[in-house]
Each structure stands twice: as structure tokens, then as C-alpha cells.
């Protein structure tokens, strides 16, 4: 009498199949993973001390151009510091900011978005108006003002990004929660006797999690760009720590004599941001059918 309808893949294997079959997840994830490994093992990978200056070897071209210096594969900057080592250490800063800032923005935004969507009423009104006011500020300007007030440093960059960009998460999560809370499983959870916070975090949040993951990936890309902008104008970490933005600023001054100095950090920036966006895009298409099943 019982009709067993178990025809699909057991457990969550279906999701993994969808993820692995997606070229963007593969490609984007691969490149992001590579950058992550470089950041993680920066001290081991960097051939030179990124701060060590050799004024006799300033503005050396990369290895494939004439007049290059052995041991300096990507050449040196105006102070004779190894560009490859500086790029590698700059990756560390970029990725720390990307993960921590996107994580903080996500945590704040998801919490407020969940509350606004689920509780509705004055909670929703308050949070939604707050979001409206927030997005009315030009983000780059606001971040520069924030960092100027907080003082330069990695923590200020992270705080600035989190404080500005939580709205991206909050808006999308709120909208999705509005859909999810009308689903019958929420009514079932109420009849079962789960409390509202338990329903919010145990029942609704897992259903918006794929969406949050996609937003998080996209936010990492934005955080990398913002960090580069801030370090370009000298508002990020202290100047003795190599950053991509700082390198672009330094390279800008000698763009006619040594264009590679500016092009290389820009190339890294583009590669990482493209990879993060591709990964986010791939995740979105791979996870969506699961979300809507």
C-alpha cells in the first residue's frame, strides 16, 4: 500500500552534482582558491622580503623584457622592492578584507533582513527606512569619510565596508523571507511549537542560505575593490604593508617609464574580482533550482 517514491539521488548529492557541473563554479572557484592559497602561504611563496629596498636595482623590468635582473621575476619598483613579493603580500591584505568585511556585512545584513522580513510591522518599517537612508549615501565617499574618522588601518577598512554594505544583504534577505514565511512549512513549524527565533534561524535561514552564499561571494568582490580604492588614496593599511591599491598609486607616477608596475596589480585585481563574480554567478544558477524545488 505504501508507495515509495525515492527516485532522486540520496542526501544532498544532487546539489554537489549541480555545483561540479557548472563551469563558472569550477573556473571562478579555482582562481579564487589559487589566490587564497597565495595569501595563506605568502611568507613562504614570496621570493624576497617585500619591504627590502635595493636602490641600485630600482625600476627593473620583468624577466621577459631586456635589461631584467635575475631573481626579480616581475621586476622592481622605484625603491628597488621586488614586485612579485609585494603582489603576493598584497593578496593577503585583499583577501583578509574580502572575507572579514563581507562576513561582517553579511552577518549584520542577514540578521536585520531576517528580522525585517519575518517580524514585519514596526520592526520592518524601522529597518526598511534605515536601509533607504543608508543607500542614499554615495558609498565610496561614505567609506572615505568613515575611514578618515576611524583612522587608517585594516580594521577601519573592514568596518567601513561592513557598515556601508550590510544593506545589500538586508534588502535581498528581507524580500526572500517575505516569500518564505508564507510557505506552509512555516505554519507547520508554528503548529509544531517552535518559537519565532527558532523558526527564523532554524527553518527560514537555511532556506535563504544559498542566496546569502551568492551575495557573500559578490560582496567579497566589492570589498576587494573598495580596499583597493582606499589603499590607492592611502587610507587603508599603514604604508609599510604592501597593498594592490598602494602599488597602483606608486606605479601611476612612473606609468610612462615603467607601465608594468601599475598593470600588474591591476591585472591581479581584475582576475580576482572576475573570479569572485563568476563564482557567485555560478553558485546562483547551480543553487537556484534547489532553492525553488
Among 17, 37, 187, 238, binds other proteins (CB under 8 A): 187
Q: What is the rounded distance in angstroms from the CA atom of residue 36 to the CA atom of residue 42?
A: 10
**Least Å distance between CB 286 and other proteins?**
16
Per CB under 8 A, 203 contacts other proteins: yes
Residue 260 C-alpha cell reads as 608594468
**List of residues 6+ apart from 132 with CB closer than 8 A:** none
Among 122, 149, 151, 191, binds other proteins (CB under 8 A): 191
Which part of the chain contacts other proteins (CB under 8 A), choosing from 19-27, 167-175, 181-189, 247-255? 181-189
Per CB under 8 A, 17 contacts other proteins: no
Using CB under 8 A as the binding criterion, the count of chain residues that bind other proteins stands at 27
Which part of the chain contacts other proteins (CB under 8 A), choosing from 162-170, 200-208, 218-226, 273-281? 200-208
Q: What is the rounded distance in angstroms from the CA atom of residue 267 to the CA atom of residue 259?
A: 12
Which part of the chain contacts other proteins (CB under 8 A), choosing from 7-15, 102-110, 129-137, 144-152? 7-15
Helix axes 121-135, 83-119, angle to 10 degrees: 150
Which DSSP symbol is given to 204?
I
Q: Compare residues 37 and 192 and give the one whose CB is closer to other proteins.
A: 192
Per CB under 8 A, 293 contacts other proteins: yes
Among 66, 151, 206, 256, binds other proteins (CB under 8 A): 206
∠ CA 217-221-225 to the nearest 5 degrees? 160
DSSP track, 14-61? HHHHHHHT-HHHHHHHHHHHHHHHHHHTHHHH-SS-TT---GGGTTPP
Per CB under 8 A, 44 contacts other proteins: no
User: Is residue 150 within 8 Å of 104, Cβ to Cβ?
Assistant: no
What torsion, rounded to 10 degrees, do the Cα atoms 19, 20, 23, 25 define? Answer: 50
Which part of the chain contacts other proteins (CB under 8 A), choosing from 3-11, 131-139, 152-160, 255-263? 3-11
Per CB under 8 A, 214 contacts other proteins: no
Which 118-157 positions form the footprint of other proteins (CB under 8 A)?
120
* Beta bridge partner(s), residue 79: none
**Least Å distance between CB 231 and other proteins?**
40
Which spans of this chain sit near other proteins (rule: CB under 8 A)? Answer: 1-6, 8, 10-12, 120, 183-185, 187-194, 203, 206-207, 209, 293
Amino acid at each position: 500500500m505504501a508507495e515509495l517514491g525515492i527516485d532522486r539521488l540520496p542526501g544532498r548529492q544532487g546539489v554537489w552534482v549541480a555545483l561540479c557541473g557548472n563551469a563558472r563554479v569550477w573556473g571562478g572557484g579555482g582562481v579564487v582558491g589559487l589566490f587564497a592559497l597565495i595569501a595563506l602561504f605568502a611568507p613562504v611563496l614570496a621570493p624576497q622580503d617585500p619591504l627590502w629596498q635595493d636602490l641600485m636595482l630600482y625600476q627593473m623590468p620583468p624577466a621577459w623584457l631586456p635589461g631584467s635582473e635575475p631573481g626579480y621575476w616581475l621586476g622592481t619598483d622605484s625603491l628597488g622592492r621586488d614586485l612579485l613579493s609585494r603582489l603576493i603580500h598584497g593578496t593577503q591584505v585583499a583577501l583578509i578584507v574580502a572575507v572579514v568585511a563581507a562576513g561582517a556585512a553579511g552577518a549584520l545584513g542577514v540578521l536585520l533582513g531576517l528580522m525585517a522580513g519575518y517580524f514585519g510591522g514596526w520592526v520592518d518599517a524601522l529597518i526598511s527606512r534605515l536601509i533607504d537612508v543608508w543607500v542614499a549615501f554615495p558609498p565610496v565617499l561614505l567609506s572615505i569619510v568613515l575611514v578618515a574618522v576611524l583612522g587608517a588601518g585594516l580594521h577601519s577598512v573592514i568596518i567601513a565596508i561592513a557598515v556601508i554594505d550590510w544593506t545589500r544583504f538586508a534588502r535581498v534577505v528581507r524580500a526572500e523571507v517575505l516569500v518564505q514565511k508564507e510557505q506552509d512549512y512555516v505554519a507547520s513549524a508554528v503548529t509544531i511549537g517552535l518559537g519565532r527565533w527558532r523558526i527564523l534561524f532554524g527553518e527560514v535561514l537555511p532556506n535563504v542560505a544559498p542566496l546569502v552564499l551568492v551575495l557573500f561571494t559578490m560582496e567579497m568582490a566589492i570589498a576587494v575593490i573598495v580596499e583597493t580604492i582606499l589603499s590607492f588614496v592611502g587610507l587603508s593599511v599603514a604604508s609599510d604593508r604592501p597593498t594592490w591599491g598602494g602599488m597602483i598609486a606608486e606605479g601611476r607616477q612612473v606609468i610612462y617609464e615603467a607601465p608594468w608596475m601599475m598593470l600588474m596589480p591591476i591585472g591581479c585585481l581584475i582576475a580576482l574580482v572576475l573570479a569572485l563574480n563568476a563564482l557567485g554567478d555560478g553558485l546562483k544558477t547551480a543553487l537556484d533550482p534547489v532553492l525553488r524545488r
